[in-house]
Each structure stands twice: as C-alpha cells, then as structure tokens.
Structure 1
C-alpha cells in the first residue's frame, strides 16, 4: 500500500530528522554482542502490556524488565504482581516505576534498550515518535493510531527509524500464528488461485462491563475519567473496529497481498450500548479492491449473541478458513483438502513467536521495521470506520488527504475534554 504525501502531526514536532539521525541507538547487537543484557521498558501496564512483557522475558534469557510506565500507579502494581516465574529478571524498583501522562518519557530516559508500547492506541503515535527519537528498539501493539493525523505521524517515525537503524516490531499477532501463516502463504503465493472475495468476522463481547461502573465521580476531570474507561471513547481507543477487530481488518489486508484498496462503504451503530461513551458496538463493511474483489467485515460487541472470529477467503481452487484449525475446503465447501498439522516441538503461541523472532533478530544485528505495514493496516481500519460513521463511500485517496485529528497531544490528566457526539451517518462529516 503506497500512501500519498505525508505530513507531520502538528503537535508531535520534535528534533529535526537530520539532528536525530546523529544519535544512533545505544543497542548495537550482532558482531559478538549476543550475550548483552537487554533492558526492557514497558509503557502501558494493562493486560496486553503485561502479556508483552512476559513474552519478552520468555523470548531471551538475557532480557530484564527495567522500567515501567502507566497513566495510573495501580496498573503498575497489578502488572508486577501478575508476572511470575522471572526471579532476578524483574529489576523494577520504585524509582523506575513511573505514573502519569509523562511516564513514557521517564521510561525512555531510564536507560532501557527496548520499549514495549501497549498504552491506549490514542497515544501510540506520540510514544512511538519519542521512542524512535530516543534511539530505542520498539515492539508496538496494534493499532498504530486512532486517526489519520496519527497514521501520518507513524509513517514519518517509520522513516526516521530506518535512518537511525532502530527496529519496529508489530503486534498484529495472527501474522505470527504458525498455522495461519502457512494458510495465508497458500493464498498469497497463488496456490489457491484467484481470490473471489473475503468475509472476516470479529463478533464477541464488550471488553469491559459497560454499566453501571462508567459514571464519572464528582470532582474527577474529563481526561482522567475517559482514560480509566478508554475502550469507550474514540480518541483513546479508536472504537472496537480499530482496537479489537483490527486483527480481522489486518487479515483482509494480508489476504489481498497488502495492496491498497480503492474505497470502502459500510454501516454500523450503537444498539447494545447505552453508556456515556461515543463508540459504536457493531459494523458491517465492504472494501473495494482492484480486480472487482469485494472484502467484507462483520464486527459486533454484544452479550448473549452468537460469537465467532473467522476468516473465510473464497478462492478459485477452494475456500481458506482460519484462524481456528486453519484449513482449505474444496469447491463443495465441505471436503477438507488441507488442514494444518503443528510440527512437533514448534512454538504455536503467536504472541510468543512474535517476541521470539523480534529478540532473535536483534541478537543477529538484523533490524525489523514493520511500521509502514502497521500504519497501512491501521488506515484500512480507519477507512472502514469512517465509511460507516459518515454513511458515504470513502476512497483511499480521501483518507490520506484527510486532516482528521481526534484530540490534541497536550491534554493533561486534570483537563476538561467533553465527549464528542456519537457519529450519525448522513450527518457526521469526515475531516
């Protein structure tokens, strides 16, 4: 996916590229440095961040958790309490536990070599930019941004990372699942012939209880309240299509060879949710691709309903089905022509495979940089969301020409920040 002209996010301007390139990373591996101790910094200490830290520690025996940062101190304590079995490698004293919205800066200044970015995705562009400018290798969770301005910032940070020789590893975890990799290899290699269409689903339950716990306490500022319930607000999470169903969006991109779509149309809304947030709870999207291929996405976060996360790629020589028990069905839609069989002794946990490969590459002195790919898959999620929110057909070119920016990067915990209205198709305008 080749994006049109890029521009910096207005409030993320930092060191000029020419000056930043002069500061090479403090971690230069390969060439005899295979036993160097790697200091890890975790930014965002929720469940996924804690999982990423555990996987990083499991990936390499000479990795130590050195610093942690989160908006809220209780999240750090909970994360530390939940990580077991790494005695002697959890070197995070109180002076390297940082809380507040500036915690990411303090983690970067603490002497870490690698950072794990797992804060709410509204902060991802800002954190990524700071990490790259500081010369740190990065594992970044998905998605990369919640708005177009953020995606453009990520693209620039990716360019800077290439110039500085620092790594960016992605968190689109299904691309590391061995069985799913093997199946998608059959698709992208042309073994299954032409792709006719794709239907991917991500139908699950809301990630948090919605009521009655979302009521804002008297005296609590808007920003703090919204951060404590970050899944429920567009500017912090991007909504369920970006924060959760982005995995299915990414697999649509994967099946289509990561080429740019032409446009998207869609619908969605809030039927189950009655909370004080502003995100939708369901989407149905159609992506238009070159060659007349239409790829469909169905997303829903309801309780008490049918749930599934299934990819169905309809090809000339059969139907590929994933991620559970990856297989190829014959043209009759029933006979299993191929089923994935895990090789004995091969790591199957996709999260662990991701970190195993990341740290192995660093040890070899190889630099992974998946930032551009991550940005494009994030933009694919954004075009889907905006097609549904506006009720319009939105083109890929329109997305890259957009100035959409959902929140300033200068917000403080105690600031007032009213909740934006829930988008109404036909009325909501895309910037």
Structure 2
C-alpha cells in the first residue's frame, strides 16, 4: 500500500459497509453466445505456490492466458515467468504487465484481467480479495484467507458482495478436492461409519527455511521489507505455522464434523527450536469442543530432527477413517474394511478445473463463508493456546483482533512483538 492509499484498518472497516453492485461480468455475458471467450488470468503473489496455481489455472481451460503478474519483489516475477514459459502462447505477460511493489495487486487487477489468483502472504489476502471483488473479478484464494479476526470478517463481507455481483470465489483448502480424500470423508459425513466420537489430526513437519537467512539482511532493507522477505516468521503476515500450514488439518477436522460450529477450544504450545527473528510459535496442541461431547484434537509442530507425520484419524462408532496419504477405514478391531485403490488425481489441478468449469457455465461458486469459518477455526486454536485460556467460538467472532500495521511501506520501522506467553498474552 502506498502512503496515499487508505489504511488497512480503514479498508477493512469499509468492507462492512454496503457497496454498489456492478453488472455481471462481461466475460460471462459474452459466453451466452459463445463459451470460448479468452479468460485473462492475473497472478498476485508469484512464489512457489503462486507459480504452481498459475500452472494449474493454465492447464484447466484451453482458452485462457496469463495476462498480468504481480509480486512485492521483481525477482520473483522473473523466476515465475521462467517456470511458466513451458505454456508458450498461453503466457502473454509483457514487461508493461509485470508489476512489483506493495501496490502490485491493484495494478494486476486494473490490467484488464478476468480472474485473479491470490497467493501473496496471507496477511494481505483480505485486502487483495476485497479489491478483486470490488473490481468484479473471479478470485482464487489460497489458504489461509486471513491471519486475524478483522481479516476474517472482511472475507465474509467480500463473499457477500461477490454473491451480489455474481462472481466466483474458489478456495485453496486443497484436500477437499482430493478424490481419494473426498471419498474417505464421504463415508464419515454420510454417516456410514456412525457418529463421530473424536478426531486426532497431526501436522508434524520440519522447520521451513526462511526465504532469506537472518545474517543476510541487507542494511538498506527496512523492517517491513525484511519481514515480508521472511513472512512465515511473522504473525501479521503468516498467522503462524498452525494457521499457515496446520490449517489444512484444522479444515479437515471441520470437514469431519460436518462444518458445524465448535463450542470452544483450549490448548498449549510454544517456541522451542525456531531461530528466526520473528515471534511465532513452532508447536501447538489444541483440543476443540464440539456439540454432543465430541473432542477433536490437533497436534502441529515444525521441529528439526523429529518424527514427521501428517495423518487424520477420525474415530466413529462403527470404525475409523485414516487419511490423507493412505485413505482407508478400519473396523473397531483394527481390520481394514475399505481402501481407495484408484490412482488419485492431482488435487491442486482439480480445484482449478472445477473453478474454471463453474466460470464457463456461469454457475454460482462462492466458498467465502466456508473459507472464513475454517480460517477462524485455525485462529481459535492459535488464540486458545497462546492465551492459555478456554476461548469460545462466540468470543472469537466478537474479538477486534487486527495484527497488521495500519499502513506499510518497505522502508518502515516495525518492531517485532514479543513471543506470546500464556497467561500474559491477550486476545483483543
């Protein structure tokens, strides 16, 4: 955001106001006569996940072009375009439509694109989504959709506006698109395995490498630029590892529970191995309380030299579902009763295939409310652990938490907040 731009806080506050609704996108009106209109894609945030998402979008439909690209850093743009050059004429991004800087997102949106892929650090996601919806663009939102309560509330308002405008919002909770995982969870949500008794999900991983090592900080970089270059270590940009990475497991807990609202959460965790200059924790253990006395537990950590595992165990009256690397069910005695045998499709490709199919058909696809709820569930887990308190679902939605600075420019000073201490740290 430039100094002359509205502040983030002003922007998120305005997101709750009634907005003028523009007409249904011209590209979809044109498809009533011809379903072969070229869809111009804008990529906002072109690191590894963004480049991957652009690749899947370009593979999802024969009549698409990558039209514009934007990132905080020009070097990311060059690397991304080199990677995407394999698509030949589907990549039509001259230098005039390559935008760098913190205002690149708006320039991409204003460049004449029809759809946008939002894969910048998640702290910017609510801002980017609202700008895309205001402009009448279809949007793909990578997970998580926000890092704080203010951001989640903004996503809810953007989703409402997108419904009024008739534009689509697709989500990046990729396991919901995995055919084998879908089939396995279908056995839970259909009641085939009986009532869910409890869930234990793990996301036990290694420490992610920062994009730039601490001792490589250029003295010319301000705090904001440095933190964006190492965004996973800073809560206002990533939300911390439980929200940024473990959100997949959180979302699958929600899936197993039929996406009903939880009652509350409690948990613990801390910062044991992380050696960056941020203040996010590196391990969490959280229990969610659900109606009917069901307790769902997530264990998440990023440790060096430790056991790694990403497994969902959904315990039901008549058996257990295990996913996602091997998707199978077991009876109460532990005997395998079903296993997915087919070759699963690439879930990242499926999410884009379904998105573009909906756009072409003019079908409603708006995952905004669901995106907000699963993201808030991750925030509930994080806040329960970091405060050391039992926090209810209602208390989370009533909170005023806003982690981001009001305005950001690369050269700004931005002190790193202290590491959260349970019993001291508060949910605002």
Give the TM-score range, shorter chain. Answer: over 0.9
Spell out structure 1 runs of 4+ moving beyond 4 A. 13-19, 209-212
What RMSD, in angstroms, separates the aligned Cα atoms of the two structures? 1.7
The answer as to whether partners of 1:179 and 1:326 remain within 8 angstroms in 2 is yes
Q: 1:348 to 1:214 in 2, by over 3 A?
A: farther
The answer as to whether partners of 2:12 and 2:150 remain within 8 angstroms in 1 is no
- For 1:209-288, list aligned pairs within 5 A: 209=210, 212-213=213-214, 216-288=217-289
Offset at 1:234?
A: 0.2
* Alignment equivalent of 1:364, drawn from 361, 366, 391: 361
CA distance in 2 between counterparts of 1:383 and 1:17 reads 25
Partner of 1:163: 164
CA distance in 1 between counterparts of 2:125 and 2:18 reads 23
Offset at 1:416?
A: 1.1
The answer as to whether partners of 1:72 and 1:99 remain within 8 angstroms in 2 is yes
- For 1:5-404, list aligned pairs within 5 A: 10-13=10-13, 20-28=20-28, 30-209=31-210, 212-213=213-214, 216-333=217-334, 335-342=335-342, 348-404=345-401
Gap regions ≥5 residues in structure 2: 1-7
The answer as to whether partners of 1:9 and 1:152 remain within 8 angstroms in 2 is no
Q: 1:210 to 1:164 in 2, by over 3 A?
A: closer
Q: 1:214 to 1:309 in 2, by over 3 A?
A: farther
Offset at 1:325?
A: 1.9
Correspondence 1:424 to 2:421: yes
Offset at 1:10?
A: 3.8
The aligned length equals 420
CA distance in 1 between counterparts of 2:126 and 2:185 reads 29
The answer as to whether partners of 1:214 and 1:275 remain within 8 angstroms in 2 is no
Offset at 1:409?
A: 4.7
The answer as to whether partners of 1:26 and 1:136 remain within 8 angstroms in 2 is no
Length-normalised TM-score, structure 2: 0.95
Q: 1:159 to 1:341 in 2, by over 3 A?
A: same
The answer as to whether partners of 2:184 and 2:321 remain within 8 angstroms in 1 is yes
Partner of 1:3: none
The answer as to whether partners of 2:25 and 2:167 remain within 8 angstroms in 1 is yes
* SS of aligned partner of 1:310: strand
Length-normalised TM-score, structure 1: 0.94
CA distance in 2 between counterparts of 1:397 and 1:228 reads 35
CA displacement, residues 339-396 of structure 1 (integer Å, 9 cap, x when unaligned): 01226xxx61000000011111111111200011000000000000001110000100
CA distance in 2 between counterparts of 1:380 and 1:26 reads 36
CA distance in 1 between counterparts of 2:32 and 2:55 reads 27
